[in-house]
Chain A
Amino acid sequence: MRGQKYIFLLPGLLVLLAIILFPLLFTIRVSLSAWGVSQPGLNWIGIENYVGVLRDQRFWQAMVRLGFLAVGTVIIEYVLGFSMALLVWRDIRFRRVFRVLFLVPMMTTPVIMAVIWRTIFHESLGPANDLLGRIGIAPVPWLTNETMAMVSVMIVEIWLWTPFMFLLLLSGLLSQPREPFLAAAIDGAGPVRTFFNVTFPLMAPISVSALVIRLIEASKIMETVYVLTSGGPGTATETASYYIYIRGLRDFEIGYASSLSITYLIIMIVALTIIAKVLVRTMIGKQA
């Protein structure tokens, strides 16, 4: 009887430990070696790679860029996703059609849709510049200008992932009790006041988890970058994951790339923990 509870937990836990633990421990070990094209296999060079990481400007620039990209897109996704969730929540015709429609991008394969977006952004043959041209706007160098390349990556990320935000927030809205909204209506509160005094506070816990979940996923951005710009022009859109990919799997500097990976992972865990704590405090803490 008492032993039976382990039959539930252990299979899943052991499988995950087996699949994850080896790679993680192995990566830590490799990060202390000079494994590369000229030195294949494990040796021991101590923390030399990590000293290199600290001095690696390209990596830190990629980290900063990733931070900007992840936080920027997630905030825009939150605003758009929340707005759309509120709009198709109730009192609108064909709401179920719109709901399905708004979910579709999340179901598509990011890397494949990024290829389609690349054809859209094509400077001379793509529809983006063609349509802008028709209203008299000069062609935009979507993928070849440093700033615009960043904007293009953000547009694609927002297209892909606003639906996920929308899904989490709409399911939260649909599970809210009716009474607070009725009370606000009886008090004669308009839509704006109802939102700030009732809807937003009620949705705060869900908002926090939606933001954190999306930040976790966004911190891994690399596939859209790989397809759209290959990190370019120059290194203008290179994110941390993509830079590690170049050093590790393309240049085959496995040892150095592993130490980059571990540094990246630690920064992510620390940053996400801090962000989650701050979000909980600012968005939920006040009412508590």
Chain B
Amino acid sequence: MPGLYRTLKYAAVLLWSAFVVAPLLWALTTSFKTINGVTGGATYIPWLDYKPSLEGWRELFNTSGTGVNIGQPFIDSAIVTLGASAISLVLGTLAAYGLSRFTYRAGFIRNRDIVFFFISQRIMPPIVLAIPFFLMLKFLGLLDSIPGLILVYIALLLPIAVWVMVDFFNNVPREIDEMAMLDGCTPIGAFIRVVLPNSLPGVVVAGLFCIIFGWNDFFFAFTLTFTRTQLLPVAIVALNSTVTPWWSLSASSLISVAPLVVVAFLVEKFLSRGTLAGAIR
């Protein structure tokens, strides 16, 4: 009986693993194909099923007219994601600390209402914001630009940072900051010198979440940019047409996924260490 149970357990885990990696393996093998490896029906194993080629990968860095050139969108995506994540993280951490330690009151509004206001922004469907964002950025002269996208992404990422950090700070013992303030620190001094160093895991987790959601957004990058600025997802999806070059499409999708696989390792590390338990609830 325990033997059967164990077999079933491993079978289930392996089956799910297969489902999870299948699309990525398919993209990997397709990225080495040429038109011949695609139009004859599904093929899987290089050399055996089809003749592998690096054409799909070479196209990505071909800056002449025929190429796809993924380099600049990659850099733009990185700047927008990291910029918006950094700003959201600073603003979000400060706000979350305030909300976890002090009492704010304005009329009938209490702390929990403010926390709810931050987090509830995630309910807002992107389509509701798209048109006004378009007009707002146009008015500010920031349409189709990196600063404009950063501004919009802050609205997406700040709620995530606040969500993660409020729960995290609620689990950091208050005695830490009270001791520091007894020693003569101002609240800001106590926060910077004592609380923040003790909360780094939470900050990292919040940062990773911001990076995941920033890097993977498509809709705003799609509706708010045209020619000057192009983010990676938009550049890649533009390849998806009637005569899709499956090989460069697959190669470029792997390039976009690669940086965040590192994030998966980091998230797992925090998860297994138990740091996430305090940070996300």
Contacts and interface: CB of A to CB of B under 8 A. Distances in A.
Given A171-B280, A174-B272, A265-B128, A87 B19 contact: no
A98 B17 contact: yes
A115 B240 contact: yes
B44 A80 contact: no
B196 to A, nearest CB: 12
A222 B127 contact: yes
A38 interface: no
A186 B155 CA distance: 51
Contacts of B260: 107-108
Contacts of B39: 125
A87 B12 CA distance: 8
B180 interface: no
A222 B133 CA distance: 18
B281 A107 contact: no
The secondary-structure label for the interface of chain B is helix
Contacts of A24: 124, 128-129, 132
B237 A26 contact: no
B257 A5 contact: no
Interface string A25-67: 0110010000000000000000000000000000000000000
B127 A245 contact: yes
A11 to B, nearest CB: 5
A115 B237 contact: yes
Given A84-B13, A96-B268, A112-B257, A125 B155 contact: no
A274 interface: no
Contacts of B122: 216-217
Contacts of A265: 123-125, 128
A5 B100 CA distance: 11
Interface string A86-127: 011000100010111111111111111101111110001111
Contact of B267 (A103, A126, A217, A272): A103
Given A88-B13, A107-B263, A120-B26, A4 B274 contact: no
Contacts of A98: 13, 17
Contacts of B280: 167-168, 171
A122 B253 CA distance: 18
Contacts of B188: 4, 7
B249 interface: yes
Contact of A107 (B129, B151, B212, B277): B212
A12 B42 contact: no
A182 interface: no
B218 A109 contact: yes
Given A20-B155, A120-B23, A219 B125 contact: yes
B46 to A, nearest CB: 15
Contact of A115 (B99, B127, B236): B236
A68 to B, nearest CB: 17
A115 B94 CA distance: 39
Nearest to A93: B10
Given A104-B261, A125-B39, A171-B277, A116 B27 contact: yes
A159 B132 CA distance: 32
Given A109-B233, A112-B256, A118-B240, A241 B125 contact: yes
Contacts of A258: 131
A8 B97 contact: yes
Contacts of A118: 240
A88 B92 CA distance: 32
B228 to A, nearest CB: 19
Given A119-B30, A159-B23, A217-B122, A130 B42 contact: yes
Interface size class of B (residues with CB under 8 A): 35 or more
A16 B155 contact: yes
A181 interface: no
A150 interface: no
Q: Which of A11, A23, A117 has most chain B Cβ within 10 Å?
A: A23
Given A4-B187, A96-B272, A105-B20, A115 B124 contact: no
Contacts of A30: 131-132
A74 interface: no
A104 B236 contact: no
A241 B102 contact: no
B42 A126 contact: yes
Interface of A: 1, 4-9, 11-13, 15-16, 19-20, 22-24, 26-27, 30, 80, 83-84, 87-88, 92, 96, 98-113, 115-120, 124-127, 129-131, 159, 163, 167-168, 170-172, 174-175, 191, 205-206, 209, 216-217, 219-220, 222-223, 227, 240-241, 244-245, 248-249, 254, 257-258, 261-262, 264-265, 268-269, 272
Given A102-B16, A113-B23, 4 more contacts: A8-B97, A87-B12, A110-B216, A119-B30
16 contacts: A8-B95, A11-B94, A13-B114, A15-B91, A27-B129, A102-B16, A107-B263, A116-B27, A127-B44, A171-B277, A205-B281, A206-B281, A248-B130, A261-B131, A264-B127, A264-B128
Which A-B residue pairs are the 3 nearest by beta carbons? A8-B98, A175-B277, A23-B132
